[in-house]
Each structure stands twice: as C-alpha cells, then as structure tokens.
Amino acid sequence: MSGRKTAIIIAGPTAVGKSEAALAVCERYGGELVSADSIQVYRGLDIGTAKPSAADRARVPHHMIDRADPDGGFSVAEYREQAGAAIWDIFARGAVPVIAGGSGLYINSLIYDMDFSGAAGDPAYREKLNALADDFGNSYIYDILRERDPAGAGRIHANNRKKVIRALERIERGGESSGLNDFEQSFRPGSLIEPLTIVLTRSRAELYELIEERVDRMMAAGLTGEVRGLADAGVSGEAISLLGIGYKETMGYLRGEYDLSEAVRLIKRNSRRYAKRQLTWFRRWEDAFFFEIEGKTPVSAVLPELFALIDTEFTPQ
C-alpha cells in the first residue's frame, strides 16, 4: 500500500443516486469527479446516460466524460490509462479523486492491476462486449449475436461467453479471434490508488420504482430524438455505444421492430436486470462499505450519515 493515495469511490446500481452523492462528496472534501460509466465516455449520448448537466459540471470538475466518438470504440485499457492520468493529476493539485459510476469493469481497472496483454490487435470491441456481458449478463450479448447471425447463434450455447464474443468479432472484423483475455482471472492487487469504496443501495422495490421513473424522465426529455439524431449522423445501430440500455431498445423502435411503448417496457426491464447484476458485481468487493438508503429517500437527506462514514474511514493526504 506504500505510495498509494486514497481515492473515494461512490458506486451503486443505476438510479440509486450516485451522481448526487458524488457531487456532494466532492464539494465537502475538495474533490474532482472521475466518471466510471462505460457509455458516458461517448460524445452525444447524453439523455440516455443521465450525463451530468452543465450546471453540475460547473459545481465541480468532471473527468472521463465525452472522450470518444459514438461510432468508435473505447477499451477498458484506454479508460484505465486516461482515468489513471486524470487521478494522478488530481492528486498533484492537492485535490481528492471521487470516482463515481456503475461500470464494475471500469472501477476494477482502477482498483486492480488488470492484465490487458492477452488481447491481440485492437481489443476495444472484445473488451466492450466483455463489459456488456459482465454488466447485463451473457444473454445480452447472445441476443446481439442472434440478431446479427441467427444461424451462427443456434450453434452456440447462450452462456458460452467466449464463443459468443468470438463469433461477434468474426462478424465485426471478418477474421478469426485470436483468443479472449479473461479479465476476471487477471486481477492483481492494485498500485494506482488506495480505494475507499462506498456502494449505495436501496431496497429492490424502491430501486425499481426509481428506475422506472428515471426511464420516463428520459423519454420525456427526448431520448428518442437523441437516438434518431445519432442514427441520422451515421452512427450504426451496432456501434458499441448504441448497445447500451436505452439506446439499443430505442434503435429497435426506430427500425420498426416494435412500437414505442414496447421500447419503453424493454428499457425498464433491462434496466432492472442491469441493477441486479451491478449489485452482484459490487458484492465481490470485500472491503467495500455498503450504505443503504431507506425507501425513496432523497440522497440529500442522508448526506450527514454518508459524510460521517467517510469522516471515519478517510484520512486526507
């Protein structure tokens, strides 16, 4: 642990209140926010990712948002390199990095030394598929394969992640995969930061209500128009950025596969499933502090208790 400085991590499932909590933590402890959201890194994907508003970004500096074009890729290795540089820059200014988000693989890349050497060529597509499977389940990427190659999907079991990813790679790049690096087997004790990890939780029933309310707000804010604009700009519906929840289902609606009410239903269902898988992922973090918010209580009402936890565990450096 020698030489590492403490960064505060605010994690949790979608819609739990991470962003509000992280902003408050930044303001109290002299922090700067480092996003750990695998879709917020893409420019132009704002509504469906609940990207921080201009007002929020004016409150505290934000990092790792709008880093990549929506029709390109952004690997976990790239995230670790760029976020790591931002974190050390924050330390150098005497501020506290506050890492906030729900992408378990992104956060793992900061708290573990992950081995990216096993991926030959451009690993972005493979890594993103791996992240999607980690976040949303193997069935999520299997459904992508079924859409793109039903016959090929019929020869692969839905839970055989490696074969599903290799098949999608062949479709994407027209060549044989050279092997999948299993990130879950490549974690080593990290050297980048000393993490103080706090996972926000709520009861399942209340969390699901908040998720559904959030989806309704996104639709009212113009998610359909945002996705249509990306498609009109030439971003393929099979681009990694548009495979995220909210975007994939809306693209299906725009392609005429189902009506808008069905798209909304699918977004809500897949968001609930995502939240469940996020919590499963976070429970692997043995040193994390789980901070439960009762019911649908606003985050602002529990900040004193959250600050008390941080005050007990965090020593400014």
Segment 211-239 mean pLDDT: 96
Segment 111-122 mean pLDDT: 58
Give the model's confidence band at 130: pLDDT under 50 very low, under 70 low, under 90 confident, else very high: confident
Q: What is the pLDDT of residues 193-202, one digit of tens each?
A: 999 999 999 9
What are the extents of the domains in the chain? 6-116+190-218+279-313, 124-173
Strand 194-201: give its sheet, edge to edge: 62-63, 31-35, 96-101, 6-11, 194-201, 289-292
CATH architecture of 6-116+190-218+279-313: 3-Layer(aba) Sandwich (3.40)
Q: Which DSSP string corresponds to 167-198?
A: HHHHHHHSS-------GGG-EEE-SS-EEEEE
**Residue 156 — φ and ψ, nearest 5°?**
-125, 140
Which residues 6+ apart lie within 8 Å of 144 measured at CB? 168, 238, 243
Predicted pLDDT of residue 125: 76
Biggest distance spanned by C-alpha atoms of the chain:
57
Across the chain, what does the average pLDDT equal? Answer: 87
The larger pLDDT score, comparing residue 154 to residue 10, is at 10
Percent of the chain with pLDDT over 90: 63
How far is the CA of 234 from the CAs of 67, 71, 143, 239, in angstroms?
19, 8, 23, 10
Segment 139-159 mean pLDDT: 78
pTM for this one? 0.80
Give the model's confidence band at 136: pLDDT under 50 very low, under 70 low, under 90 confident, else very high: confident
Percent of the chain with pLDDT over 70: 89
Rounded Cα–Cα distance for residues 151 and 50 (Å): 36
Give the model's confidence band at 28: pLDDT under 50 very low, under 70 low, under 90 confident, else very high: very high
Predicted pLDDT of residue 178: 31
As a 3-state breakdown, the chain gives helix, strand, coil percent values, each rounded to 5, of 50, 10, 35
Q: What is the pLDDT of residues 40-67, one digit of tens each?
A: 999 999 999 999 999 999 999 999 999 9
Predicted pLDDT of residue 185: 41
Give the model's confidence band at 115: pLDDT under 50 very low, under 70 low, under 90 confident, else very high: low
Here the tokens at position 159 are 């839970």
Predicted pLDDT of residue 183: 39
Q: Which residues pair with 200 in a beta bridge?
A: 291
Segment 210-215 mean pLDDT: 98
The larger pLDDT score, comparing residue 291 to residue 188, is at 291
How far is the CA of 226 from the CAs of 47, 67, 266, in angstroms?
7, 18, 18
Predicted pLDDT of residue 25: 98
